[in-house]
Amino acid sequence: MLLIDRYAYTNRLKDYNPQAKILLVCGGLFLLRFIDNSYLYLLNIILMMILTIGVAKIPFKSYMRMLTIPMVFLLTSLVMIILSINGADYIFYISLKSNRIGITMDSLREGLKLFITVISSLVSVYFLMLTTSIDNIIRALKKIGLPALIVELMILIYRSIFIFLEEAENIYLAQAMKFGYENKRNSLRSISLLISNLFIRVLIKHREMSIALECKLYDGDFKLGD
């Protein structure tokens, strides 16, 4: 079970109305984008972190660790936004031949605003993911009339993530037991084999899943016991 799923089933808000949580997150994000105020984005970040860590009791270290990966991609993207070529009002710049590359006040403001906006959306989505299990989310979306095609895609994508991670873990454990990561040379060879075999194994698993669904007379509607 993924760490996010484990917290979704064990947190203190797990039994709270999932429709209310979806409304809080989606309604809040829509309102924030409509008003587009940086102070409200900051307020939303604080509120969502209090609800997630303080109320739902998600461990702080685990929460920050889960935020690390999207934060790396976000910061990498922000570098290209903050840097300006031959701009004006530079805070810092370096000269390359006849060009100046650096950070201006406008690019810094734009980068900070984008950073706060993305983090606000990210912590809101994490609140929903960490406090509501996927089956409760699907039930709530079906109740509000979300098209069956979108619900089906969500379930299949969710299942595909588990297939990918499960197969990757199985291959890695098999390689580790055979000392495949004993040194750098073996590690590089093992990683390349893992990637190539993982693609084939995932395709096989998807085919098996499709056959299983057909044997159960799957008609496009996943039954969740409701």
Contact 168, 200 (CB under 8 A): no
pTM for the whole thing?
A: 0.76
Confidence (pLDDT) at 219: 65
Q: Which residue shows structure tokens 């007379």?
A: 217
The CA distance from 151 to 169, in Å, is 27
Q: In whole angstroms, how far apart are CA 56 and each of 17, 29, 119, 189, 190? A: 14, 20, 19, 43, 40
Residue in this structure with the two tokens 């939303």, named with its chain if needed: 44
Tell me, what's the pLDDT at 127? 93
Q: What separation, in Å, do the N-terminal and C-terminal C-alpha atoms of the chain show?
A: 23
The Cα–Cα gap between 114 and 98 comes to 30
**Which residues are within 8 A (CB) of 200 and not within 5 positions of it... i.e. 6 or more apart?**
none
Give the type of residue at 211: I
Walk along the chain (226 residues) and give the pLDDT tens digit of each residue.
Answer: 567 888 888 899 988 888 889 899 989 999 988 888 889 999 999 999 999 999 999 999 989 988 888 888 888 888 888 877 766 677 777 777 777 777 878 878 888 888 999 999 999 999 998 999 888 888 888 887 777 778 778 777 777 777 777 788 888 888 888 888 888 888 888 888 888 888 888 788 778 877 877 777 666 666 655 5
Residue 70 CB neighbours (<10 A): 14
